[in-house]
Amino acid sequence: MNQEQEKKNQQNDQLPDETTPSQMRTLSEVMNKLKNKGYDNELTFSDHGKMQSANSNKIYNPEDLTIIKTFRFEGISDPADNTALYLTQDKDSEIGYILDIYGIYSDHTAAFDEFLKQIPVKEKDTEW
């Protein structure tokens, strides 16, 4: 093996594995991975104070959902640019997600925040 190939192998050994939990990921990478697994059902906060599924038009109260995974992101160029993605599971075992942009760019209401606080959390160790 030549020196250049050996150097490349050493660099590759130092790169974090895709499954390493501590690896920083971007929101778009996580969203693409979830979409490829069929988890592309966004839940949005409706005018009626409940979450609504974009795919099935189901309406949810907080007790109808469980947060099974939380991803947090901070903007590289602006630490005040914060986003959380909550992966949820409903009582029919359907997976969806809620995007929460918080910090100075948030346009969510206090009702949205209160709704999120009421959703039970039961994190799963499954690799997403």
The DSSP code for 51 is E
What are the angstrom distances between the C-alpha of 72 and each of 32, 36, 83, 84?
15, 20, 6, 4
Tokens of 11: 């660099």
Q: Confidence class of residue 105 from pLDDT cuts 50, 70 and 90?
A: low
Instruction: Please report which helix (H) or strand (E) contains residue 115, including its range.
Output: helix 110-118
What pLDDT is attached to residue 80? 59
Give 12-26 pLDDT, tens digit per residue: 333 333 333 445 478
What are the angstrom distances between the C-alpha of 108 and each of 21, 49, 57, 81, 87?
28, 12, 20, 14, 18
Q: Which of 69-78, 79-88, 93-102 has the lowest mean pLDDT?
A: 69-78
**Residue 101: CB partners within 8 Å, gap ≥ 6?**
82, 83, 107, 108
Measured distance CA(85)–CA(7) in Å, rounded: 37
